[in-house]
Amino acid sequence: MASNTNIIANKRGSVSSHFHFHLHLHLRLHLLLFSLFFVAKFDLVSGLNYTKYSRKVSSLRLERIQKHLEKINKPAVLTIVSPDGDIIDCVHKKKQPALDHPLLKNHKIQRVAPEMPKVKMLKREEEKIDSKRNEGEDFVWQMWHRNGTRCPKGTVPIRRSTTRDVLRAKSLFHFGKKQPTIIDPTSRRADAPDVVSGGGHEHAIAYTGTSQEVYGAKATINVWDPAIQEVNEFSLSQIWVLSGSFDGSDLNSIEAGWQSGFVQTNSRIAIGAAISPVSQYAANQYDITILIWKDPKLGNWWMGFGDNNLVGYWPAELFTHLTDHATMVEWGGEVVNSRANGKHTSTEMGSGHFAEDGFGKASYFRNLEIVDGDNSLSSVHDISILAENTNCYNIKNSYNNEWGTYFYYGGPGNNPRCP
């Protein structure tokens, strides 16, 4: 992948370049550092109506929210109003919210780019595609790029948090934090991933075993605009890089996909700003490539977007188990089902269609790869798949020479088989 979103035509073999980052979809790189989470997350509920909900908010709570927003929204060198209504603040790198974390009090931002993972085998088709994408075109990556304005050198673009953003969380305390999953040990195999959980969390994922040392992971993720039924629900698609106790009691997790936060270094990709366009049913398909890997020299965990496009990193100081390496990788989708009105909600995962519907209809992950001990990328061949409730959301995996290891996944939630 290059630093642009792939447009995959209906015929799988035809690929052309285009790109970008709002439900309108948001690739949210919130600061979830307090929970050691990196959940690059699309805002999948921004289209919901908050008018009725907001009337229930007390003036005292609104005052507290405002004080919190004044703390986390840093002073801007330049402010840009996006066509979709988002406000993008160009914040000096040294003032970005990530550095408020107590463990990063004396952290010096890494200025030298890390060594990118090497590709062991590059197919001719990939070489041809990458060459075409590196011709120096100025892609409109995000919605706020459309008016041609960019953040000045030495700053990073960050989407300004709003009162409505906070109201989407359970409380002010929970805002910006990924909630822990509740694991039912009686329903869990010994080698199953930590995401097998209760509390309304449902998944459709592929995962590696826990016996290997992993230093990163990569995948190309099909981008859709799933419908969300309730304000406190979400739908995400992402990569999990994990190490520690898989009962969730002592676990380090780095997560990147559609749903995050860390030390940002890129002046063009805004934290929380909109990706557009998204895939359409039986029409053009759009995907993004995400890479997470550990810097072999300094030990920071970096995120790459597209091809050689560094977004930022998690400082090594934040981790315990991930200070060395990861032991498991997971790829796939997660939703929260609140069972509103006593029924499974119709919050969609992926495209909202089941895996068997295939290309152009179901959502996919393709070219699954992991980073090994010598900082090399290699295709993943031995994966397992898991879905808690296949009547609501499911997953089917396969392999071919073009897409490597890949899978289709997702579903509509509530339906006659998923009451």
Residue positions annotated with a catalytic role: 255, 334
Strands 301-305 and 118-119: unpaired
Q: Which helix (H) or strand (E) holds 275?
A: strand 274-275
Q: Measure the CA–CA gap between 217 and 212, rounded to whole angstroms.
A: 13
Secondary structure of the chain: what % helix, strand, coil (to 5)?
15, 30, 55
Of the candidates 186, 184, 320, the one whose C-alpha atom is nearest the C-alpha of residue 194 is: 184
Tokens (6 digits) for 34: 């307090």
Encode burial over 355-389: b for 16+ CB neighbours within 10 A, e otherwise.
Answer: bebeebbbbbbbbbbbbbeebebbebeebebbbbb
Q: Measure the CA–CA gap between 196 and 201, rounded to whole angstroms.
A: 8
Cα–Cα distances (Å) from 189 to 44, 59, 270, in that order, read 31, 48, 40
Strands 6-8 and 285-294: antiparallel
Of the candidates 366, 370, 365, the one whose C-alpha atom is nearest the C-alpha of residue 380 is: 370
Q: Is 292 within 8 Å of 311 (Cβ atoms)?
A: no
Q: Which helix (H) or strand (E) holds 72?
A: helix 59-72
* Residues in CB range of 337: below 8 A, 6 or more apart: 200, 201, 202, 233, 344, 345, 347, 392, 413
Q: Phi, psi at residue 43, to the nearest 5°?
A: -75, 100
Q: Which helix (H) or strand (E) holds 53?
A: helix 51-54
Q: Measure the CA–CA gap between 31 and 151, rounded to whole angstroms.
A: 20
